[in-house]
Structures are given as structure tokens and as C-alpha cells.
Amino acid sequence: MKKWSLMVLTLLVVFGLTACGGGNNAAQNNADAQNNAANTGSAVKGSISFAYWGAQTEADAIKRVINDFQTNHPEIKVENQWIQQDYLTKLQTMIAGGTVPDVILISGGDLPGFANAFQELQVNASAFSSPSLVEAMSIDGKVYAAPFIIKPKVMAINVDLFEKNNIPLPSKTEPMTTELFDEIAKKITSGEGSSKIYGSEPLWLGNWIYAFGGRYYNDDLSQSELNTPEAIAAGEYIVSTKQAGIVPSDSEKQGQNMMNWYLGGRIGMFTDFGPWYIPQMADTEGFNWDLVPFPGNGGSKEVDGLALSKDSKNPEAAKTFIEYLTQNVEAQKIIGGDKSAYGVPVLANAAEAFEQIYPDKNLKAFVLASENQHNQEAQKRTNEINNEMKAIDDLTPIGIGTHDVKEIFPQVADKINQILRQ
């Protein structure tokens, strides 16, 4: 008898839900969301805090994805902590004072200095667009942050200057050689004084060392490779562009925004173009631009990830938040799928939306770079190493010095190696 009563009750409930569901899909969807929250909320709920850096456009995108998360997970409240200046210093202060947020945005380059404050995460590398993304968030085989956004470098070109000088447009998928870059830069450079047009903005060693086949460290990051022929060749080429006048001089670039020069038609090839410039391009009218791969397959990609504090009071809720922001396709589209995007999504399906932000522009160059470019090379003792690296700008013509690159690079490598051996 009890079994029969239970069957009748079950049928009545089913018929009742069916009748109600046909009348109001929106109400049903809302009820489903509440039910999901109730089902998961019994184990995972409460409040978490999330610290991140970024310009206004970056912060706006992150706030939107936080709102999206809370719509889908009303059982978890997120306190967002947008740190606009001195992010790493303030993060160190929070860690020392025991006030570190539950979830922390961290770049692969900065991860070694903070990994001791983070919990190890279990991350499925195959879920992301490239295995290198998880590698960027790992130290000694342990993953300390889940990949969240990719910031590779590509080259922006002024199409009108190419056509004016009868220069064929570069391949949209294959990087031009460094020799071709030099040739084109010299053809574009013309004029003098305040109206002079330059082939490129001043070149940055951090991009060009890879274009010449060099790198900062060996495979296990135990030794500097600034003393290699490839690294030295990159440094010498940067000096040669200044001497040839195909990039603005030190005095000309002082206090100037090179992106504004590019948008103003004074630079033909902007080699340090990161995805954070995409929101700026939305306001550009009457400027004929496009994107191509970085010359020589140079440049390096910054991978930013979400880390979980060891001191989190609500680690399960924090993990739910991290998983949603890094694994949900719609969440990834929010931060990298419209004209406010500031990076390439880490999921292949969301990356397709990124490419369509400007359908007539080659944003595919960013996606290819996110798959193929070198990860940032990171060391735990970054501050000490950066102090030694200052000698390159201070002593060689890459910066304001006069000493030969061949002399200074090996000296800097030796000092870095002393730090690495300590």
C-alpha cells in the first residue's frame, strides 16, 4: 500500500511540474538556478575575496565576469579588491599581515615569488587551448594557479604606409624574418623633425631576444643565457635600429606615448602590441590597421592565472569561483570576447569569439601567438635579477650607455648566475 501511494504522489508531482513549466520558462529557469544554488549551497557557500590589478577596461571586464558568476552562484558572495597601483607590493603586505584574499590574480612571471603563499591546484591541462598555459602556472611540476587570460604580443601595421611605399602586406599567419622587418622599416622611414615617419617604435629586448633565437635562461632556469650569440645578436640589432634612425631616438621618445605615434601615422610597425590595446582600437576611426605575427616568432606571452591562498577561510567556494572563471566558456567570453577584451581566452571555444571582435582584422595573430609564443621566463629572485639587468640600459646603447653589447651582456649574465647559485 505504501508503495502504491508513493507512485501516485510521484505522478501528481510530475504532472504538476509539467503544467507549470509550459507556462513560464523564465520562471522555471530562475527556479532551476535557485535549486542548483540550494543543492550546491549545502556544501559550498559563503563569502570569498578576489584581488586583481589592471586598467579601467580590465577592471570593468573582471567585474562583469564576477557579476556573471554571482548570478549563477548566488550562494557565494565575492568581494572584489581592485588594486590599481603597486599590486605586488600590496599583495606581499597582505600575505605578511595575514589578510591575503582567497583568490589572487597572478602572472606567470610573478608566480615564483608568491607560490609559497598559494595552495597547489589540480588542473586538467587538456581543458585549455595549449599545454603551455598550465606550464606557465607551474613550478617544479606543481600547479599553483589556473590559467585565466593570455596576453601575447603581435605586430600592428599601418596598412596605408605599406601601400604608400609599395610594400606587400605581410603574411597573416607566418612571421616575417628579422631581415625583412629591417628592410621594410628602412623603406617606411622618411622625413625629418616633428613630421618624420619611423619604421617602428623603439624595440624592446624582452620581445626581440626570442626573434633572434635567444632566451634569458636555460631549460631548467638555472643559468642565464644573456651571454649567448643569439641574445647578443638581438641586443646589437636593437642598437643598429637606433643608429639607422628607423626608430625614434631616446630624446624623441622621452615622455611620449608610442601608441599615440602609431595611431597618428608616424610609426609603420608597432611591434609591442598587446591585447590590452584592443579596447583603445574601438575608438579609432579613419586609421587603416591590421595585425600580423611578431617578426622571427619573437615576443613572449604573459599568462595570468587565478591562485588560491593557503590561508583561505572558504577554499571550496574559492575553488568553485576559480573553476567557473577559467573553465566556463561564457565567462571566458566576457573577459575576452568583445571590444572590451584585454586578453585571449584560455579556452579554444571562447577564443573563436575573440577572433570575431573585429571580423575584418587579423586577431587570429593573437590566438596563434597564445599557442606558440614563449612563456614569460620567471625567477623567484626577480627583484635582484632586475637590478642587474638595469646595466643593459645604463651601460649599452640599447639605453643611454656607450659600452659594447658584447662586453656588457656576458658581465650581466655572470652576475645573474651568481644570484641563481645562492
| pLDDT single digits (tens) 168-192 | 999 999 999 999 999 999 999 999 9
- The DSSP secondary-structure symbol of 117 reads G
Residue 2 has pLDDT above 60, yes or no: no
pLDDT of residue 381: 85
Which of these ranges, 146-160, 196-210, 235-249, 364-378, has the smallest mean pLDDT? 364-378
pLDDT tens sequence across 9-63: 333 333 333 333 444 443 444 444 444 443 444 478 999 999 999 988 889 999 9
Rounded CA-CA distance 280/56 in Å is 12
Mean pLDDT of the chain: 89
Determine the residue type at 395.
L
Rounded mean pLDDT, 273-302:
91
Virtual torsion, Cα 166, 235, 205, 295, nearest 10 deg: 30
pLDDT of residue 382: 84
pLDDT of residue 96: 94
Specify burial of residue 71 (Cβ count, 10 A radius: 0-12, 13-18, 19+). exposed
Rounded CA-CA distance 331/61 in Å is 10
Give the three cell numbers for residue 334: 566576457
Residue 144 has pLDDT above 60, yes or no: yes
Specify burial of residue 391 (Cβ count, 10 A radius: 0-12, 13-18, 19+). middle
Give residue 166's region: left, alpha or beta (phi > 0; psi -120 to 50): left
Task: Taking the CA atoms of 101, 102, 105 and 107 in sequence, report the sign of the dihedral they define.
Answer: positive
Give the three cell numbers for residue 157: 601595421
If pLDDT is split at 50, 70 and 90, which confidence band does 339 have? confident
pLDDT of residue 27: 40
If pLDDT is split at 50, 70 and 90, which confidence band does 280 have? confident
If pLDDT is split at 50, 70 and 90, which confidence band does 155 have? very high
Which of these ranges, 9-18, 235-244, 317-326, has the smallest mean pLDDT? 9-18
Rounded CA-CA distance 119/319 in Å is 11
If pLDDT is split at 50, 70 and 90, which confidence band does 64 have? very high
Provide CB contacts within 8 A for 90, sequence distance 6+: 83
Q: How many CB atoms lie within 10 A of CB 108?
A: 26
pLDDT of residue 127: 93
pLDDT of residue 338: 86
